[in-house]
Every structure is written in C-alpha cells, then in structure tokens.
C-alpha cells in the first residue's frame, strides 16, 4: 500500500531510482575488483565525481521540494548546504588531532597561527561523530526555522523571499571569510585525515562515501515522495496555486511553509555533510550566492515539481559543467546563463517535460487512460512561478 503510493504511481522516479540503485551496486565492484587496465574499470576520479553529483542531486531534491511544490523560491539553499558541510568539516578537523602542521593536540593549525590559547566553545563536542551529525541537522534547521518564521509570518513571498535568502547566504559568506570567526577564514577547513577511523583518501573510504551518498539520496527521495503524496502534499500544492483560498479553507499557511522549509534545509545540509569528505575541503566560497542560483538552474533544467526531474537536472547540468570547464573555464558562466534563459523560454517543464513530449509524439496513440495520467502529471508539475 505504502510502496504503491510512493513508487508505483511514479514511473519516472522509478526509472531514475533504478539507475541509481544499479550504479550503486556496480560501481564499487567495477572500481575495487576490476583491474585498472580492463575496459570496465571505473576510475577513482569517476567515483569521486559521481559521489559529488549524488550530493548535488540530494541538494537539488531539497530545492525542488520547496520551489517545485510549495512555490517558494529560495536562492539561499547553498547556505544550508555549506553549514552542513562546515559541521562535517569541523568533525573531520577534530579527527586530525596532533597530526596538524604545528602538532597541537587540540587546536587547529589556523587557530595556532592566530595565537589562540584554547578551543572556542562552538568547537566543543565536534570530536564526537554523533554530535557532529546532530549539528549537521540542527544548525541549518534552526537557522531555517528562525529565518522562515520571520519571513513567512510577515508574508514575504516570491521575489522578495528570493532576494532575502540571497542576502542571507551572502552575509554568511562574508562572516565565514573572517578569520576571527574561527572557521579557518578564507582557506576554510581542509587537510582532513580520516573519517570514522578510515583514511579519508583510501579507495575503500571513497567508495563507502559514494554508496552512503546514493543510499541517502534514495531515502531522501522516498521521504519527499511520502510528503508530496500525503494530504500535506496536496495542501502544499494548494498553497502554491491559491494561497488565500488555502488560508480561507482553514489552513495555517505559514506553518506548512515553515515545516517544509526546515525539512528542505536539513536535506540540503545532509548533502553538504556528505559532500565535504568527498571533496576534502569546505570554504566560504560554498556560501557564494552564485552557487545557490546554480542549484535552482539544476532543478529548472531537470523539470521542477517532479522530484526525479531535480535529480536528472543535477546530474546533467553538472556533467555539462565538468565537460565545459575542462574545455573553456570562462565560458561556463555564459553557458549556464544561456541555459537558464533557454529552459525558461523553451522548456518550462525541463528535460522531463521534453522527454514526455517526445514520448507522446512517438506513441501517437496512447491508450486514453495513460494519456490522461500524463496530462495530470504535467499539470501538477506546472503551476505558476
């Protein structure tokens, strides 16, 4: 019954999840058990790259949940991603112990450089993995709670909400750039040695992180499906399409928005926490407003309001980015901008919408019922900005 609700009614999602599940099973084998000269060998670089993309897909999912379904355009989701990343980074830093350049048993290298005597209070506890993981969820969640409470209570919506979320992430970026904040300033946190006792650069650890990211993505997808197929999901759609009607139907719109915003921020934070050990660094650049805009483009390109479209978008845009930046780094921003214009004008439902249109053209005579279901899903994914 529950499976039926979460998966069977969601063919696109099943396909995407299926591909991820197969890749999660195959890639570790092809990386670890196949000799490097075999044509089936998957390189370490590829594992790291796909692991990163999985984190981005999780991040895109969180953006789609709030933007595609509730119509709340957050241009500050990078802030939650980065905060989750910093919480993980702090744990990894504490794990370095006395193996830093200056060999201090407790203080980070950058603290030694600044002549700090002892560990600041907010670094306490991060040596424990469970505490760090709790903070990964709590810190961004709390920020989203306070920020969302104030914004939604004052009925800040649309472009104004987008702008203040941009300001939020920008302000955090400036703050984290400051050395006195105690988060490593410009350089951020890096030089990690190990995670849960495993060397961070070991092949097995990389694969482990890759698999963890994939599993988290699948779990998060199920959770999001659960939300959007529940009665709450329909309330959220109604808020997107007719906010005052929803209010006059007796729903406290602010609570729904706030709940979803906090949940979404936590998903973004989990993505950040998985991202940091895989790339080996977190610095204030992750708070950059540009990043937050980029993730919205992933979702738009994939097809918003479908959940799996966000995953497709995150993978395809990031793959294109990897390809184009190695070809010509300066051109990427122009391509990204062009892509956004293109998608907005020609592909309002993103790649998913394009695929649906193609399929309908191919099978011109769909059975009536199926056609109706398609129209329905398209209408559901539509909605106004």
With respect to another protein, which residue has the nearer C-beta, 252 or 363? 252
59: CB partners within 8 A, 6+ apart: 77, 81, 267, 268, 271, 272, 295, 314
Residue in 131, 177, 198, 251 binding another protein, rule: CB under 8 A: 251
- Regarding 259 and contact with another protein (CB under 8 A), the answer is yes
Binding mask 138-177 for another protein (x = CB under 8 A): ----------------------------------------
- Regarding 344 and contact with another protein (CB under 8 A), the answer is no
With respect to another protein, which residue has the nearer C-beta, 118 or 244? 244
Q: How far is the CB of 376 from another protein (least distance, A)?
A: 6
Choices 41-49, 52-60, 71-79, 243-251 (CB under 8 A): range interacting with another protein: 243-251
With respect to another protein, which residue has the nearer C-beta, 320 or 373? 373
Q: Which of 12, 97, 109 is nearest to 313 (CA)?
A: 12
Contact status, residue 169 vs residue 76, Cβ threshold 8 Å: yes
| Tokens describing residue 66 | 């709030």
Three-state DSSP class for residue 198: strand
What distance in Å separates the CA atoms of residue 216 and residue 200, rounded to the nearest whole number?
Answer: 19
Residue in 192, 221, 256, 315 binding another protein, rule: CB under 8 A: 256
Residue in 245, 337, 358, 371 binding another protein, rule: CB under 8 A: 245
- Regarding 219 and contact with another protein (CB under 8 A), the answer is no
- Regarding 249 and contact with another protein (CB under 8 A), the answer is yes
What distance in Å separates the CA atoms of residue 378 and residue 183, rounded to the nearest whole number?
Answer: 45
Contact status, residue 324 vs residue 335, Cβ threshold 8 Å: yes
What distance in Å separates the CA atoms of residue 316 and residue 320, rounded to the nearest whole number?
Answer: 6
What are phi and psi for residue 382, nearest 5 degrees? -75, -110
Q: Which of 46, 80, 27 is nearest to 319 (CA)?
A: 46
Choices 199-207, 237-245, 288-296, 318-326 (CB under 8 A): range interacting with another protein: 237-245
Q: Give residues in contact with another protein (CB under 8 A).
A: 227, 230-232, 234-235, 237-238, 241-242, 244-253, 255-256, 259, 375-376, 379-380, 382-383
């Amino acid at each position: 019954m529950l499976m039926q609700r979460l998966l069977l009614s969601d063919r696109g999602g099943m396909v995407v999840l299926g591909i991820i599940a197969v890749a999660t099973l195959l890639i570790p084998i092809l990386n670890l058990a196949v000799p490097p000269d075999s044509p089936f060998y998957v390189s370490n670089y590829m594992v790291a790259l796909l692991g990163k993309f999985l984190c981005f897909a999780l991040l895109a999912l969180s953006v789609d949940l709030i933007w595609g379904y509730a119509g709340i355009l957050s241009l500050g989701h990078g802030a939650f991603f980065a905060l989750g990343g910093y919480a993980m980074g702090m744990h990894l830093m504490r794990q370095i112990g006395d193996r830093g350049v200056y060999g201090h048993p407790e203080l980070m290298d950058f603290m030694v450089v600044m002549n700090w005597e002892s560990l600041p209070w907010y670094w306490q506890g991060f040596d424990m993995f469970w505490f760090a993981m709790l903070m990964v969820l709590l810190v961004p969640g709390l920020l989203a709670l306070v920020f969302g409470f104030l914004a939604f209570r004052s009925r800040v919506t649309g472009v104004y909400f987008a702008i203040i979320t941009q300001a939020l992430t920008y302000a955090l970026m400036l703050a984290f750039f400051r050395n006195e904040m105690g988060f490593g300033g410009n350089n951020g946190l890096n030089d990690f040695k190990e995670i849960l006792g495993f060397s961070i650069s070991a092949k097995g650890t990389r694969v482990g992180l890759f698999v963890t990211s994939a599993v988290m993505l699948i779990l998060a997808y199920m959770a999001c499906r659960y939300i959007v197929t529940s009665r709450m999901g329909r309330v959220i759609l109604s808020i997107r399409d007719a906010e005052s009607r929803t209010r006059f139907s007796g729903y406290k719109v602010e609570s729904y928005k706030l709940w979803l915003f906090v949940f979404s921020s936590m998903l973004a934070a989990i993505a950040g926490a998985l991202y940091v050990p895989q790339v080996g660094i977190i610095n204030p650049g992750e708070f950059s407003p540009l990043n937050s805009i980029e993730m919205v483009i992933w979702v738009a390109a994939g097809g918003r309001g479908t959940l799996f479209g966000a995953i497709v978008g995150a993978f395809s845009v990031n793959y294109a980015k990897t390809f184009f930046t190695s070809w010509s780094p300066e051109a990427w921003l122009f391509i990204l901008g062009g892509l956004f214009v293109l998608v907005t004008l020609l592909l309002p439902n993103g790649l998913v919408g394009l695929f649906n249109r193609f399929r309908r053209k191919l099978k011109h005579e769909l059975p009536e019922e199926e056609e109706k279901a398609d129209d329905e899903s398209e209408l559901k994914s539509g909605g106004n900005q």
